[in-house]
Structure 1
Amino acid sequence: MGKKVNKPILVAGVGISFILWFYNSLSQHILEVGEWGLLSAISLGLGFWWRKGQKEMTNKPLPVTRLTEQSVRDVITQGELILNTLATEAPDCDISVFKQKLIQLSLGFDRQELTIALAGGKKVGKTTLKKILLAQNISNNISLIEIESLFKETKIPKIKADLILLLITGDLTNSHWKFLQKCNQDHQRFILVFNKKDQYIPEERSLILEQVRQQLNSMIAPSDVIAISAAPQVLKVRQHEENGIIREWTESQPPEINSLSDRLKLVLELETKMLVLGSLWREAVSLKQQAKANLNGIRRDCALPIIEKYQWIAAASAFANPVAALDLLATAAISSQLVIDLGVIYQQKLSFSQGQALSGIIGKLIVKLGLVELSTQTIGSFLKNNAITYIAGGTVQAISAAYLTRLAGLSLVEHFQDQDLDSSTIEEIDLTKLPQKIRRVFEKNKRTALVQNLIQQTLPHLSN
């Protein structure tokens, strides 16, 4: 990461901004009218543009590619690549635990022992069903675990099991649906168990089953939605005798779970390989994410000083050249070099032209999101309200330039750290989520304390 990169974009961009300054000073009034007209239009269009770009959530699950042994091994290989990169960039980081877990995963493809989890809300019959299944001894290669109430918190829980039996006692709720969507995306096999069917009349029972099967038809087969009664209600019997006496008593009913038992036997017979692959895939992805988080933390520590360097350069350039349009030009030039320097840290091999292209995309998004005007107004208002005198007319613009450069840099950090290690060119980088990242970074960095801290840090750089 000590790699030296020449800065022709930086020199050229700042130089052009100073050449054009004199011309812009002569036409200051015309430019002011045009700028504020442009900013007003951007402000008016921001709400519509942002709303238009957001996709409404639907109940339609995302398509999921069928797992193969090779696709699971590919994830393990990706994890190994991240660990090797981590070992190279941070030799002092202990990765032995990660490596040992990856080795264990590589040896787990022939596993025959399976774990089945019984999950659901409160009082849906998990404990009772577990006892019955244990007594039936469906297979010697399975272990049954009971998961406490799933839906105590809004966060979707992670369950370490090869197969999940999700118990419900009525219609699917929104919490059920979100959980099952996550299972589907994570290649987590599940069977939906409609327990306590005896508490419904046959018409209601059939209606609920049909509705649930329709809701889940893109995830599981209809035969994976099963109605049972693990502990049927006692049956009240009334007998009229010849002498006119009426006798009443209750009779307990045997569990009705044969349909579930039969389905489990068939799944265990035909799908053991896929159940194991699903578990291996989830574990490999989890390890990969943990290793990537460690790598991202180390790279972020290296990236922050670079971002700070460029934000001070941007501030000084804007302060010496206090015309808003040229501030954007100078910031764009610096941001182009910033893209390239951050790309070196994140092993994104970008040329100068690619750096310009990506910085241009970021610049346009910042304008479209209205962040130029918002940042200028926020900083200007803060300076006035806190009785900080204007050193010169370009003070607000200078601080805004530093702020926007920092915003662009932090957005790039989030963007680069989400890329695969082998995404080495701009054509291979997925830019579809970049607007959301910029917006998210802006929301995190618009708090008063952060803005105040940036202003206090920037002012000394303007007096040098």
Structure 2
Amino acid sequence: MNGPVSLWQRLRAGFLRAGDRPVAAAPRGDTHSAQATESLRALLDDPDIPTAIRSSLAVDFARLEAMLGKLERGELHIAVFGRVSVGKSALANALLGEDAFTVGVLHGTTREAARRSWQEVAGNGVHLIDTPGIDELDGEAREKLAFDVAGVSDLVVFVVDGDMTQRERDALQLLARTERPLLLALNKADRYGEDERKHLLERLREHATGLVRADDVVAIAAQPAPLKRLRVDADGIEHAELVEQMPDLDALRDRLTAIVEREGRTLAALNASLFAGRVSDQVGTRIAEARRELADKVIRQYCIAKSLAVALNPIPVADLLAAGALDAALVMHLGRVYGLPLTKGEAGSLIAVISAQLAALMGAIWGVHLVASALKGLSAGLSTVVTAGAQGALAWYATELVGRAAEKYLIAGKSWGEKGPKRVVTEIVESLDRDSILREAREEILKRLRDRKAD
């Protein structure tokens, strides 16, 4: 293929690089199939995937199970794709040599995806999938089905019956993004003269540049129009009759057979591996989202606990010691959330690093915090509540900063990464809206203090 090199192309090149060496294709394909099977089984059996995430991705995991079975049976799936009435079902039937798929003149005869074995190539190993037309009148659901089927097929034959429409060009682009090999077949080629057919093939190759190999753009006639001829009977009377013509699929059949025999099992292995990779990415994303949501709740709980501890402690400066203990507990709790438990010593060291960076950035805030702590012990009545609210809000904000910095450290696998702690902490400080956090904290603290007083 021309154009940018896709992930599928890179994997395929790596799998097939040994093709220049005198090694039989079947053993190489068996190796690739075994590798993909092992990868799928590992993902399906991974004990670290939470039940809730498995449930949310149930359709994808069911598809993984189906792909695993397909690999173990040595199957290759070829999807026949295209607009309504371009002859997809007729092509599939002609390849099979039997009327397995419905063929009709009604708009959109194929209502859903259907699959049959292509015995001619590899026993029961190769399966043809006929798909609904991409331009059904009520076709949004069927079009989605067609793309879904093509997305899990190992090879796609895109069928047209003339120069490509804009919808067909768009569909070809979309199919190319599913990262699997495409063949482009000009069906009903018998309707065109030799020069016109040659011109159409050139146009199709232009449309498919970077998406389909030039050699994989072929002309076929799945269901040629009957040939009219005159027959003279014994009395010398002429009769016009229609003679059915045999399908002309040699160019497509040769290309398909060559691909299947040379790299069929490898294509199936690649397709399964790519799909497993996408599911694995989704699992990782869902786990990260779940951890972030839980981490948000944990940080907020500690923000409330620490701010109240500071606000309610009447002893000057002693509240800061309690706050430090809560910071350590927060960091250790976050470590468990992210599956990277921290010892007390590790938590203390991490807090020391974060605090040092915060102190350098926010010396004035900590100065106010210490003054407020001292004043609180000398205050009484409403002034104590107001001072405690202000000091508690600062403690809330400090906890938010410590929690977010520790979270970044844990997400990176207990590392500050290339940026280092100074830059990470600075970015966190800059990303948080201090005023809104302080305002929310103060309102929450005062509300809880009033509720306690009412009790």
TM-score, normalised with respect to structure 2? 0.49
Q: Higher relative CO (CA 8 A, sep ≥ 6), structure 1 or 2? A: 1
In our comparison, the structure showing a higher alpha carbon Rg is 2
Normalised by the size of structure 1, how large is the TM-score? 0.49
